[in-house]
Amino acid sequence: MKGYNPIDIGNIVEKSISMDVNGTIYRKYYRFRATKFYGGSSTADVVGCNLMCIYCWSYRINSMYRSIGVFYSPYDVAHKLMTIARENRYRFIRITGGEPTLAYTHLLQVLENLVSMGIRDIGRFIIETNGILLGYKPDIIRELVNYNDFITVRVSLKGCSEEEFSIVTGADKNFYSYQLMGIKNLVDYSIDTRVVIPISFCKTSSTSLLLERLLDIDKNIIDRIEMEIVFLYRSNMDRLCRKGLKPWIAIDKRLRRVLRGLEIDEYFRGQCSENSYRDT
């Protein structure tokens, strides 16, 4: 069965999570916080995504994009992020949670405000994205070049092949290639790029082939690849159980324990047989 079109979904979501006020693009966020990621980072969590990944920690927020979140101007977003960074002496600022390339003009306006507030004196700005729009609309990457000295784009792949992409996202498998195109476009514009591979849901064979595809894009990309292991939460366990999907390796968020092989089988048998997980 053919999955949904992430571009169409993104266009629908954008109408609810952004608004134009005299040329200034406001976007919905649901929190600003200090986090431990990257050794400490000032973090903004956006509302709204063009994918619905089954294991996503922000699945509930993104699925309720019409009713959750508060609209913030680019200035307010930049000011909050810079304040958190300075108060905690963080070198990294990031936008995560949903898909930051939706309402793309808002992102550019946030960057411009960060520049005027002195981000270059602090460190780096990290854009955490699935990369689909960066592959679908390559021209938009050109606008990031002005900020190339302080931005990093972290592209989180969804599966290691077209088939795995469709399984974990529910989207049409043909859109997987846009993630890889997005990486290529970023590399072509010499923008600092990191690639995240979700190995928990990847077969050995597809992981190997994906690495070859990435090396075809850039021989030096091997130094910028992160292997990501899925964390099991109450909410994503419920969705995985209902879909009958098991990772081959995972981390139990509550116990802080790595599970694999027979442990995964036993863990899922026990958890999926209980009716303790709510729909999210």
With both helix axes pointing from N to C terminus, report the angle between 262-273 and 234-243 in degrees, rounded to the nearest 10: 90
Q: What angle do CA 80, 83, 85 make, to 5 degrees?
A: 110
Please give the pLDDT value at position 253.
81
- How many CB atoms neighbour CB 204 within 10 A? 10
The 3-state DSSP composition of the chain as helix, strand, coil percent (nearest 5) reads 50, 25, 30
Domains and their CATH numbers in the chain: 6-228 (3.20.20.70), 232-275 (no CATH)
Q: Is the pLDDT of residue 1 over 70?
A: no
**DSSP code of residue 40:** S
Q: What is the DSSP string of 90-138?
A: -SEEEEESS-TTTTHHHHHHHHHHHHHTTGGGT-EEEEEE--HHHHH-G
Which pLDDT tens digit goes with each residue over 260-275?
989 999 989 888 886 4
Contact 206, 165 (CB under 8 A): no
C-alpha distances out from residue 264 to 129, 158, 242, 267, Å: 29, 21, 16, 5
Separation of alpha carbons 44 and 34, rounded Å: 9
pLDDT in tens, 92-140: 999 999 999 999 999 999 999 999 999 999 899 999 999 999 999 999 9
DSSP-assigned letters across all residues of 139-171: GGGGGGGGGTTTEEEEEE-SSSSHHHHHHHH-B
pLDDT tens digits for 3-25? 999 999 999 999 999 999 999 99
Tell me the per-residue pLDDT of 49-58, one tens digit each, with 9 for 90 and over.
Answer: 999 999 998 8
Q: How confident is the model at residue 278 (pLDDT cuts 50, 70, 90)?
A: very low
What confidence score (pLDDT) does residue 233 get? 86
Please tell me whether the overall predicted TM-score, pTM, comes out greater than 0.85 for this model.
Answer: yes
pLDDT tens digit string along 154-210?
Answer: 999 999 999 999 999 999 999 999 999 999 999 999 999 999 999 999 999 999 999
In our burial notation (b when 16+ CB lie closer than 10 A, e otherwise), range 39-56 reads eebbbbbbbbbbbbbbbb
138 neighbors 169 (Cβ within 8 angstroms)? no
Per DSSP, which regions of the chain are E strands? Answer: 18-21, 24-35, 41-46, 70-72, 92-96, 124-129, 151-156, 193-198, 225-228, 230-232, 249-252, 257-260
Structure confidence at residue 57 (pLDDT):
86
- Where do we find the tokens 């190995």? 199
Residue range 75-85, pLDDT digits in tens: 999 999 999 99
Helices 176-188 and 162-169 pack at an angle, to 10 degrees, of: 110
Residue 110 is predicted with a pLDDT of 98
